Amino acid sequence: MTARGDFVTMFGGVFEHSPFIAERAYDAGLMLVPLSSKSVHDALTSIFRRASHAERLGVLRAHPDLAGKLAIAGELTEDSRQEQAGAGLDRLSPTEHARFTELNTAYTEKFGFPFIIAVKGLTKDDILAAFEKRIHNSAEEEFATATAQVEKIALLRLQSLLPGH
């Protein structure tokens, strides 16, 4: 495999189902050696921010609903599964699950993408409170908030891929 292929294999999933970000970062020569979570995050985030609105929307839409159908069916990416489980979203009561489902539906209908939050260090109650607050944002506010959360998720994923850096 080429160095580019290795790079894309390693970092192509950092932005959920969006390997084009890693491909463009590599092709632009943005990678500093040795690789660190900060240098890779800076490069990938730079590409994400320069992507068209439609491409960034596609990245948002690639994220799964929190505690949604993919989680129930066991079809989350391993990163998403671990992140949601770490926040207790895999252990919701039927009432809590119903509330998440209701909010997921309303949020997606309003904004056109799923609710995205970096769940590491948060409880299901923290996430629910953020969900209930953010659903009242304007479309512009929520797009900005969701893209910032995607960047935070990417950093957390990189920190686990490149520990000690």
- Active-site residue, selected from the candidate residues 17, 41, 63, 165: 63
Residue type, 55: E
- Here the tokens at position 80 are 């998403």
CA distance 122 to 133: 15
Residue type, 23: E
CB neighbours (10 Å) of residue 79?
Answer: 16
CA distance 109 to 41: 31
Q: Is 63 marked active-site? A: yes
CA distance 61 to 127: 19
* Active-site annotation, residues: 63
